Amino acid sequence: MAFKERVFSGVQPTGNLHLGNYLGAIKKFVALQAQYDCIYCVVDLHAITVPINVWGGPKTLRENIREVTAAFIAAGIDPKKHIVFNQSQVSAHAELAWIFNCVARLGWLNRMTQFKEKAGKDRENASIGLYDYPVLMAADILVYRATHVPVGDDQKQHLELCRDIAQKFNNDFASSIAELGHGQAYFPLTEPIIQGPATRVMSLRDGTKKMSKSDPSDYSRINLTDDADAIAQKVRKAKTDPEPLPSEEAGLAVRPEADNLVGIYAALADRPKAEVLGEFGGAQFSTFKTALVDLAVSQLAPIAAEMKRIGQDTAYIDSVLAEGSDRAEAVAAETMKSVKDIVGLIRR
């Protein structure tokens, strides 16, 4: 069965939005608007899966939800043409997650590497929510029967789980799905969109570590709120090696820091890495970094300024989220009706 093409993706409001979030996700969200109907969600229910001191408490959470919303709009997402909202305002996400809890298998979740990383050694003390995180993520996507999900490379395994859940639901309830006129499958097997030179942006201090909001060193990442001076300082201080840049991509293979900076440049410039090396191959890092600072500042500083401007108008942001939630809810409610019928629950 052909499903209506639709893009869904989410970003957690856990503070410190950085260049990895921008190049791996948000910049792609913006580009996909031209081709698809898109739904972009601030996944606040995911943010509370880690302890309160990590997400900063209720006041910080509210600020962070608004900040991610402002970042979406500042980066170029149009909340009138597409849907921008926060997850907790549409209760169908949590409701479908429960049904999927009864479809997903313990063995599948036990394999999730991100849970292992985030729970660390003290696994007994992790929240059930952290363990169940990927099931809620599958519900986020499938409650809109989304066909495409742009994400960074670190979300690949979660999207495989989403497909497994969709497939098992379709199989377990195959006769009910057919009887109710939905054909052979009710949920699509969603395609991840993980492409381009910056699907995994690395730390500016260590090219073998992912750029992350939880790194204690602020010099490890460029935050979306950084101004031109901060961006320039961080790029200039970024770790490099003593060799000039290679002329071919193969020359980046054992040079993680060089590879990362070239990938960042390529993604910001919308050019392939090979082309960037065609221009800068043989150049010293000092020359390349000057060009990278100019490019990064020209692309990111206007977003930071716009985020700040939009961020001051909380009434506007809250109205975007309320309106987006209404529109998202209308789609999600249709899915929940069908799902309840398929499963055999009695509804009003």
Chain positions contacting ligand TYM, by CB under 6 A: 8-12, 20-21, 24-25, 43, 46, 137, 140-141, 149, 151-152, 154-155, 158, 199-201, 210-211
20/188 with CB nearer ligand TYM: 20
Task: Give ∠ CA 38-42-46 in degrees, rounded to 5.
Answer: 125
Q: Residue 11: which of 73, 58, 57 has the closest Cα?
A: 73
CB of 280 to ligand TYM, least distance (A): 22
- The owner of tokens 């602020």 is 218
Catalytic hit among 118, 156, 168, 308:
118
24/324 with CB nearer ligand TYM: 24
CB of 51 to ligand TYM, least distance (A): 16
Strand order in the sheet with 148-150: 83-86, 37-42, 6-11, 148-150, 191-193
CB of 137 to ligand TYM, least distance (A): 4
37 in helix, strand or coil?
Answer: strand
The angle, 0 to 180 degrees and rounded to 10, between the axes of the packed helices 156-172 and 128-142 is 70
> E strands within the chain?
6-11, 37-42, 83-86, 148-150, 191-193
CB atoms within 10 A of CB 195: 9
**Taking a C-beta distance cutoff of 8 angstroms, is the pair 304, 60 a contact?**
no
How far apart, in whole angstroms, are the C-alpha atoms of residue 262 and residue 249?
A: 10
177/262 with CB nearer ligand TYM: 262
CB of 40 to ligand TYM, least distance (A): 9
CB of 229 to ligand TYM, least distance (A): 23
**Taking a C-beta distance cutoff of 8 angstroms, is the pair 185, 157 a contact?**
no
CB of 199 to ligand TYM, least distance (A): 6
Reported as half-sphere exposure (CB side, CA atoms, 13 A), residue 303 has a value of: 30
**Taking a C-beta distance cutoff of 8 angstroms, is the pair 220, 178 a contact?**
no
Here the tokens at position 188 are 């699509």
Task: Give ∠ CA 335-337-342 in degrees, rounded to 5.
Answer: 90
73/137 with CB nearer ligand TYM: 137
Here the tokens at position 337 are 């009706």
Q: What residues contact residue 131 under an 8 Å CB cut-off, 6+ apart?
A: 109, 115, 119
Is residue 337 flagged as an active site residue?
A: no
263/311 with CB nearer ligand TYM: 263
63/341 with CB nearer ligand TYM: 63
How far apart, in whole angstroms, are the C-alpha atoms of residue 152 and residue 192?
A: 9
Catalytic hit among 156, 168, 210, 340:
210
Residue whose C-beta lies closest to ligand TYM: 24
Is residue 209 flagged as an active site residue?
A: no
Catalytic hit among 156, 168, 213, 308:
213
Catalytic residue ranges:
118, 210, 213
